């Protein structure tokens, strides 16, 4: 891709393997989930050039890519990784997240009875 050349954003997202199809790329852009240089865009025909920074909101994460090259085809993943620099900050490490935040804690004795509790309850009923 020449330095002055531009490419449609939906094609670039498809070639960079951000989404599975070009129509899904167009829907992603139309939904307003793509920002180009911090500005929200909603036209799949919007052009990107080398050096542009894309902020893409996917289902469970946000990725930030700098366009390094335009694609000519949807090739293998190794080829797609040459189209961008990943500027996404790393996820927080396990030390930053407390263990209690990941697993809900329930007070002992609350909730469903265990098999042992059920047997004890049945034994009390049988005695009466």
Of the candidates 48, 55, 53, the one whose C-alpha atom is nearest the C-alpha of residue 3 is 48
In this prediction, residue 51 has a pLDDT band, given cuts at 50, 70 and 90, of very high
- Tell me the per-residue pLDDT of 69-91, one tens digit each, with 9 for 90 and over: 998 999 999 999 999 999 999 87
| Partners of 7 in the β-ladder | 48
The CATH class, in words, for 7-86 is: alpha beta
Tokens 């790393």 map to which residue?
90
What pLDDT is recorded for position 18? 95
Task: Tell me the whole-structure pTM to 2 decimals.
Answer: 0.69
Please give the distance of CA 112 from its chain centroid, rounded to a whole number.
35
Domain locations along the chain: 7-86
Checking if the pLDDT of 103 tops 70, the result is no
Percent of the chain with pLDDT over 70: 86
| Mean pLDDT, range 50-67, rounded to an integer | 94
What pLDDT is recorded for position 65? 97
Percent of the chain with pLDDT over 90: 63
């Amino acid at each position: 891709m020449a330095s002055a050349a531009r490419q449609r954003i939906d094609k670039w997202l498809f070639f960079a393997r951000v989404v599975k199809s070009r129509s899904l790329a167009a829907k992603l852009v139309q939904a307003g989930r793509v920002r180009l240089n911090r500005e929200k865009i909603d036209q799949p025909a919007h052009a990107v050039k080398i050096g542009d920074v894309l902020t893409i909101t996917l289902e469970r994460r946000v990725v930030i890519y700098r366009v390094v090259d335009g694609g000519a085809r949807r090739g293998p993943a190794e080829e797609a990784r040459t189209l961008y620099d990943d500027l996404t900050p790393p996820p927080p490490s396990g030390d930053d997240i407390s263990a209690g935040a990941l697993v809900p804690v329930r007070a002992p004795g609350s909730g469903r009875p265990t098999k042992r509790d059920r047997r004890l309850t049945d034994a009390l009923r049988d005695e009466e």
